[in-house]
Structure 1
Amino acid sequence: MKHNLLTGIAGLLLATTTLAQQHSEQNHAKYVPPKDPLVQQKLSQWQDIKFGLLMHWGTYSQWGVVESWSLCPEDEGWCERRGPYAANWYEYKKAYENLQTTFNPTKFNPERWAEAAKHAGMKYVVFTTKHHDGFCMFDTKQTDYKITSTKSPFSTNPRSNVAKGVFNAFRNQNFMVGAYFSKPDWNTPTYWDPYFPPKDRNVTYSPKRYQDRWQKFKDFTYNQIEELMTGYGKVDILWLDGGWVRPASTIDTTISWQKTIPYDQDIDMARIARMARSHQPGLLVVDRTVTGEFENYVTPEQSIPDQYMPIPWESCMTMGNSWSYIPKENFKSAHRLIQTLVDIVAKNGNLLLNIAPGPDGEWHPEAYQRLQEIGRWMATNGESIYGTKPVAPYRQGQWAYTEKGPVTYLTYLPKEGERLPETITLTNRSAGSGARVTLLGYNKPLNAQRKAEGLIVSLPEKARQQFAGQPAWVFKMEQK
């Protein structure tokens, strides 16, 4: 992922917008449905659970900077270096990689995260086992640039294998488990070769010219993924980032950021997927932005499609402004987050919401608070989210539509401070004269009269007072 920088940096909004554009430009008409029945089954299960947690975490949290991207020598807002080493890239990279020797998240408690996420109504987790900087949050045997290395003070902690701890804690709460893994690795010499200094995010040498070197990188990548697929329990999703590592045949030159990819960077995804599924049958493989058989669902980033999309998709979005930890985060309101979830589900998607742990291994208190607020709404209204299917007109004005069997849910998304009116008009193909209408969270049926414009529902004053300030009002419509 590309991400925004520290709060207050002028390029913040530009970086976020640019990144969202890169992923929204993808041609989703070329989506390839999986053929494996086990993958189809897992994909259907994943589409039913709707709401997940993403976590970006690494040594970069100590500096409170954008994850990995400050190492990238590109003249882009999200790559800007800050601090005492910023003037010299080589000194900066050395200091950045030396963070390994001080990263000591002694408050790491994944059970607390899992409990909070569960109460918020989240059902799956995707955790960064390795970002582009190459620092591994798992006990790989392929490199010493990892949290379990003796160079890292946290290595003496019984919970030093962070990825394993996260996966176990969330699996114990019945979450589906996903491993985020960066295909590019800016620490390993078989990707950023020291002989060829990097000019951008890409491999620093020609894989075609130096085939042996590229094969070593392919094997390195394969071996790390196999470690994750064999030593960390049941894994449901392999979430691969770094879409510039791809076969040249998949580069879409109509997409601006893909035009800059200089080399064929084919890492043999067929071999990787075959191996991964031999250990994890039915595994969802998400090779982000690389349209084809290894992108089982698509992942618009920091954006929501304007319309319903008939293919499996997931918006990955931040709870605050940044993907990585920053000391003072600007968290979105629960009102906005809940409406975002409703909007996405009505368009056939899932929401993967990112929270970034800090250098001590803890979340901001506001993150827990937001999850509590979301959880209160979900406890009452979750039936309009989980296991539902979008139904036409999907999203119209301030309305969102989903259904589950014979039941239709019509969700109104009020503006901040908007109160329930005395009457409200429900317009939907299911709004027949014999429909029974209730408001989730209000235990009495509502009086509904059929008129030309739809069902006119009367709302008692008690209900109007009870729902004042709620982020979304869900009307449940059942045919008598």
Structure 2
Amino acid sequence: MNRSSYLEQIQQVIARGDFKESWESLQSFDVPDWYKQAKFGIFIHWGLYSIPAFENEWYSRNMYIPGSKAYEHHIEVYGKHTEFGYKDFIPMFTANQFDAKEWATLFKASGARYIMPVAEHHDGFQMYKSDVSFYNAFHMGPGRDLLGEMKQAFEEKHLIFCASSHRAEHCFFMSHGRSFPSDIHKPLTRSDFYWPAEPEPDHHDLFASPPSIEFLEDWLIRTCEIVDLYQPKLIYFDWWIQHAAFKPYLRTFAAYYYNKGKEWGIPVAINYKFDAFMFGTAVPDVERGQFAELQPYYWQTDTAVAKNSWCYTEENVYKSSVDIIRDLIDIVSKNGNLLLNIGPKADGSIPVEDQRILLDIGDWLRRNGEAIYETIHWRISGEGPTTIMEGHFTDHEPKPYTSQDIRFTFKDTTLYAILLVYPQDGRVRITSLRIKSPHFAGIIQMISVLGFEDQVHWQQTPEALYIQSRPMSTLVPVVFKIQLN
């Protein structure tokens, strides 16, 4: 690739487009309707780190930190770092069981509407055919354009193709291997897999140890290449792009991507964390957490089926599918989307437990999806005694929901009241819909339960809307469809 020519091409697209390289211009961004209607997507962490399948997807960093569990594991299983480094996993990554069509069938059955494979993780190995670096899945390892195969299979199933880049952290991710004899050494050039392996900075200091201009331009080129080759409708960025040095490059990328979306006639969006982007220029994301209250702006949670890792490991500790369904409902009621991660095995097969969780979610959505897809938030997100701990990294434990915890969504002339825990006696009390409620003064025409033919009896009083439905024992949330006049 002629890097100078490509950087000029990026500037030409921006020059002729509506979006410019300023936060003021980028604030004309609108969250695409398709994204707000989709509600549920799937994240996929799959790469070289899936081979050791130990601890988590940070194996490429941690294996080079003396004294860490990954360091000790690596020596025990693979040998000394001078003899077997992270790069030596590449020939082992054959993806011989990977079938993009099988993945697409499963994801369609899960009820997800958009799919987000990781295009490049912190380790720097690209899961696609790239002209920027030889260290990619087409030129090494599987010898296949894995991302291209996914795009084709997903779009055949009418799933929206997206992609994520975690390249920013690669600036320092492999640096610890320079502190002892290993296969990481200086000098490193841009053509080296481990480049630049700069010392790891203080993650709280957003001005210290800035990446070089060469690395920042390389980051921009790699990310724009994903856009040009695969036309994803959504790009997700992991952390560290919030560093001050990235700001002008983020503006350039967003202007390029948004203008390319207009050229394609496809509304596109960017996910970001930790205020990396200026508010109103992209969609904020909360990692492994959510908000306690309804938000006036659109947002997303990204979390995983496993509590301890984003990639497949042999020790994964899984969440229950019911807890994930409840989180999906809570997030949608608060004006957000859920991006749920799974971790395929190194060979490309999806673990049985990941499959089971996705199919459980899909089963619930087949019966209750009208209360999720294409809905908007109501005046309030819900009611009930359970307090949601909000912010990043707060969702490791299940919430202690009760039968009084209810969430609301709205579509056309229908209000959906979703009971996160269904009372076995079928007696439901919704105080937000009482007579003279500050939130509701409408006329209820009919109430039914999604997935059931049974008639329900209801009465609206000054204390609450009381509903008597079928007594039953069920673990999954139950949706009441309240049609208004």
Task: Report the TM-score range of the alignment, normalised by the length of the smaller protein.
Answer: 0.7 to 0.9
CA contact (8 A) 1:74 1:200 kept: no
Structure-1-length-normalised TM-score? 0.77
Q: How does 1:48-447 map to 2 (within 5 A)?
A: 48-65=37-54, 66-68=56-58, 70-71=60-61, 81-85=71-75, 91=81, 95-150=85-140, 152=141, 154-155=142-143, 160-182=144-166, 183-185=168-170, 186=173, 189=189, 198-200=198-200, 214-232=212-230, 234-243=231-240, 245-248=241-244, 264-266=245-247, 268-281=249-262, 282-289=267-274, 290-292=276-278, 296-321=282-307, 322-397=309-384, 398-414=405-421, 419-427=423-431, 428=433, 429-430=439-440, 434-447=444-457
State the 1:407 CA deviation. Answer: 0.9
Q: Distance in 2 between matches of 1:296 and 1:318?
A: 22
Q: What residue in structure 1 maps to residue 36 of structure 2?
A: 47
State the 1:412 CA deviation. Answer: 0.7
CA contact (8 A) 2:133 2:191 kept: no
Map Cα deviations across residues 175-200 of structure 1 (whole Å, 9 max, x no partner): 22221012232478459998986432
CA contact (8 A) 1:49 1:123 kept: yes
Q: What residue in structure 2 maps to residue 256 of structure 1?
A: none
Instruction: Give 2:158's aligned amino acid.
Output: N
Secondary structure at the residue paired with 2:132?
coil
Q: Which moved more, 1:97-106 or 1:72-81?
A: 72-81
Rate the CA distance shift 1:390–1:434 in 2: closer, same or farther, 3 A. closer
CA contact (8 A) 1:436 1:445 kept: no
* Superposed CA RMSD: 3.5
Q: Distance in 2 between matches of 1:87 and 1:197?
A: 24
Rate the CA distance shift 1:202–1:268 in 2: closer, same or farther, 3 A. farther
Unaligned residue ranges in structure 1 (runs of 5+): 1-30, 249-263
Instruction: Give 1:163's aligned amino acid.
Output: L
CA contact (8 A) 1:53 1:352 kept: yes
Aligned residue pair count:
412
CA contact (8 A) 1:57 1:324 kept: yes
Map Cα deviations across residues 221-252 of structure 1 (whole Å, 9 max, x no partner): 222222211222x3111112232x3453xxxx
State the 1:85 CA deviation. Answer: 3.0
Secondary structure at the residue paired with 1:298?
strand
Q: Distance in 2 between matches of 1:75 and 1:425?
A: 55
Q: What residue in structure 1 maps to residue 8 of structure 2?
A: none
Structure-2-length-normalised TM-score? 0.76
Instruction: Give 1:285's aligned amino acid.
Output: I
Rate the CA distance shift 1:198–1:237 in 2: closer, same or farther, 3 A. same
Secondary structure at the residue paired with 2:221?
helix
CA contact (8 A) 2:117 2:147 kept: yes
Secondary structure at the residue paired with 1:442?
coil
CA contact (8 A) 1:104 1:360 kept: yes
Unaligned residue ranges in structure 2 (runs of 5+): 1-22, 175-187, 385-404, 434-438
Q: Distance in 2 between matches of 1:82 and 1:330?
A: 22
Instruction: Give 1:344's aligned amino acid.
Output: I
Q: Distance in 2 between matches of 1:121 and 1:114?
A: 11
State the 1:111 CA deviation. Answer: 1.6
CA contact (8 A) 2:234 2:270 kept: yes
State the 1:454 CA deviation. Answer: 2.0
Map Cα deviations across residues 341-392 of structure 1 (whole Å, 9 max, x no partner): 1111111111100000101101111221122211111111111111112223
Secondary structure at the residue paired with 2:285?
coil
State the 1:287 CA deviation. Answer: 3.6
Q: Distance in 1 between matches of 2:145 and 2:330?
A: 37
Rate the CA distance shift 1:410–1:92 in 2: closer, same or farther, 3 A. farther
CA contact (8 A) 1:438 1:475 kept: yes
State the 1:47 CA deviation. Answer: 1.5
